[in-house]
Amino acid sequence: MVDFGKLAKRAKGVAEQHGDKIAGAVDKATDAVDKRTKGKHSANLQKINEAARKLDKRPNDDPPAP
């Protein structure tokens, strides 16, 4: 049986270690989706980007990792 508490703790640890990479990947993905949908879902995609940026613990003046 899967221990979801243990899985959640591990996912949180990975997000804390690699938040900058996750935020960069989410930004690229949402840009691609926005382009393909011709801006139809821009507001929702912006909310996703904002949530992902919260994982990035670097100062705001640093660009996200590629």
Domain ranges for the chain, please list them.
18-59
Question: Average pLDDT for residues 15-26, to the nearest whole number?
Answer: 89
Cα 44 from chain centre:
13
Residue 44 has a pLDDT of: 94
Yes or no: say if 7 and 39 are a contact pair by the CB < 8 Å rule. Answer: no
> If you ran DSSP here, which 8-state letter would residue 5 be given?
H
Query: Tokens 């940026």 identify what position?
Result: 53
Q: Per-residue pLDDT tens for 33-54? A: 999 999 999 999 999 999 888 8
> If you ran DSSP here, which 8-state letter would residue 64 be given?
P
Rg, Å, the chain Cα set: 14
Residue 65 has a pLDDT of: 57
Q: Is the pLDDT of residue 2 over 90?
A: no
Question: Average pLDDT for residues 5-30, to the nearest whole number?
Answer: 90
